[in-house]
């Protein structure tokens, strides 16, 4: 897929809670084809302490409105600066970057998309993509508490939503890997994005049940398009760049203790 560097216009910046915001962007040019699991590299202007771009996964594409959504967690100076963007501001992106989730051949297969924290971001776009191709996705979304469960009304449009919170304020209490559907339902494919311990636990579950499983990695990177060689993951094929060979990996490629 051809990559582009281009300015986008902010059409909306919605604070979802104290730590998360949703940027809606549009462009005068028609958006290039983008796939679920891919990411963009965002240039942060106006933050003296932010030197590099920030890799952000694609949360949603609204083709009718030529709109790209980025769900961002405020962590440091870079994301804090982005959180202050206003409608009409310009944002420079490199996109689309990385590979994508693997689409199962048969829509009758049972798919489970597990997201934790800001890791729910790519699952919306992926769930929508699956739904549009005849799948009936199941979403399992985890957060600290009910206020951190984001975009539930959006997820509802594309499949069945299950939730967990660490404090029990919504859904089942505990971590996603403790949710009862993992014991009561069976799945053919699992896709996950979130904190590494969560993805590792999901991978262990998938492997024990012999379920095909893909994870989305977020190794620290400088460029995002395969030239700095900083974001490597040690895989069965040696050190490979997460930005070009990933961010999506089948768990069988990884050298995790699964």
Partner 1 sequence: MADLRVKIGGLDLKNPIMTASGTFGFGEEFNDFFDISKLGGYVVKGTTFEPRQGNAYPRMAETPAGMLNAVGLQNKGVHYFADVIYPRIKDIDSHLVVNVNGSTIEDYIKCTEKVAELERVTAIELNISCPNVKQGGMSFGVCATSASEVVKAVRKVYSKTLIVKLSPNVTDITEIARAAEAEGADSVSLINTLLGMAIDVEKRRPLLSTVTGGLSGPCVKPVALAMVWKTAKAVKIPVVGMGGIMDWKDAVEFLLAGASAVQVGTANFIDPTVCLKIIDGLNDYLDRHNYSSVNEIIGAIGV
Contact residues toward partner 1 (CB under 8 A) are 2-5, 43, 48-53, 94, 219-234, 238-239
Which residue, 204 or 228, is less far from partner 1 as judged by CB? 228
CB of 131 to partner 1, least distance (A): 31
Q: Which residue's CB is nearer to partner 1, number 23 or number 97?
A: 97
Q: Which CB, 52 or 181, lies closer to partner 1? A: 52
Q: How far is it, in rounded angstroms, from Cα 241 to Cα 228? A: 9
Least distance between partner 1 and beta carbon 91 (Å)? 14
Closest CB 36 distance from partner 1, rounded Å: 21
Number of Cβ within 10 Å of residue 230's Cβ equals: 14
- Look at residues 84, 79, 78, 124 and name the one whose alpha carbon lies nearest to residue 216: 124
CB of 247 to partner 1, least distance (A): 14
Nearer to partner 1, 3 or 65 (CB): 3
Cα–Cα distance, 208 to 24 (Å, whole number): 39
Contact 90, 7 (CB under 8 A): yes
CB of 54 to partner 1, least distance (A): 10
From residue 61, give the alpha-carbon distance in Å to each of 24, 35, 51, 69, 229: 10, 9, 28, 6, 29
Q: Which residue number, 3 or 133, has a Cβ lying nearer to partner 1?
A: 3
Mapped onto helix, strand or coil, the DSSP state of residue 229 is coil
In the sheet that 4-15 helps form, which strands lie side by side, from edge to edge? 54-57, 39-42, 90-97, 4-15, 20-26, 67-73, 60-62
């Amino acid at each position: 897929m051809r990559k582009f560097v281009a300015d986008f216009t902010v059409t909306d910046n919605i604070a979802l809670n104290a730590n998360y915001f949703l940027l809606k962007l549009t462009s005068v040019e028609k958006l290039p084809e983008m796939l679920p699991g891919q990411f963009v590299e965002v240039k942060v202007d106006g933050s003296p302490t932010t030197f590099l771009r920030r890799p952000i996964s694609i949360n949603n594409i609204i083709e009718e409105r030529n709109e790209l959504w980025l769900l961002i967690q405020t962590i440091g100076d870079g994301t804090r600066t982005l959180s202050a963007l206003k409608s009409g501001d310009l944002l420079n992106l490199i996109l689309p970057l990385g590979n994508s989730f693997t689409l199962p051949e048969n829509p009758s297969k049972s798919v489970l998309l597990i997201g934790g924290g800001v890791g729910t971001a790519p699952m919306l776009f992926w769930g929508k993509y699956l739904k549009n191709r005849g799948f009936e996705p199941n979403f399992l979304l985890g957060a600290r508490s009910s206020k951190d469960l984001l975009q539930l009304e959006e997820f509802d449009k594309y499949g069945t939503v299950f939730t967990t919170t660490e404090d029990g304020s919504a859904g089942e209490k505990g971590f996603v890997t403790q949710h009862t559907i993992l014991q009561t339902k069976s799945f053919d494919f699992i896709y996950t994005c979130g904190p590494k311990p969560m993805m590792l636990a999901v991978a262990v579950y998938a492997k024990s049940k012999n379920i095909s499983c893909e994870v989305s990695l977020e190794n620290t990177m400088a460029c995002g398009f395969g030239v700095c060689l900083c974001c490597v993951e040690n895989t069965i094929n040696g050190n490979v760049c997460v930005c070009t060979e990933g961010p999506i990996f089948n768990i069988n490629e990884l050298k995790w203790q699964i």
